[in-house]
Amino acid sequence: MPSVQRVHNDFKNDKNVVVLMISVDSSRAPVDAYLAENGYTMPVVLDANIAVASKFGVLGTPTTFIINRQGNIVASSFGPLDFDRPDFRKYLQVLISEPTGPARR
């Protein structure tokens, strides 16, 4: 999660990038305690009923989805992911520079 926090820090002022964590915990208290203990500041929403996870077909955690500005999933990964890798950062930059357009349905 430290590399996720660094991506959040590096892109939080870019209106085209949002780092959003989704927790399947049933209560906010342990999530907030974990974030505070580790100095994490990225936004986290709860999915206690696993509705979002089911919609995205998540079978385990951590799972990462990259969604472009048109709202399409363009990449996904199961398991830990190093967000500090130069190729990942370059991939984000390419996505950010893509023109906007209507979301596909």
CA 93/CA 6 separation, integer angstroms: 15
pLDDT of residue 105: 44
Single-letter amino acid, residue 89: R
> Cα–Cα distance between 99 and 80 in angstroms, integer?
30
Architecture of the domain made up of 2-97: 3-Layer(aba) Sandwich (3.40)
- Domains of the chain, by residue range, sit at 2-97
- Look up the pTM and report it: 0.79
Phi, psi (rounded to 5 degrees) for 94: -65, -45
Give residue 97's pLDDT: 86
**Which tokens belong to 37?**
């203990």
Reading the chain (105 residues) residue by residue, the pLDDT tens digits are 999 999 999 988 888 888 999 999 999 999 999 999 999 999 999 999 999 999 999 988 899 999 888 888 999 999 999 999 999 999 988 888 887 655 544
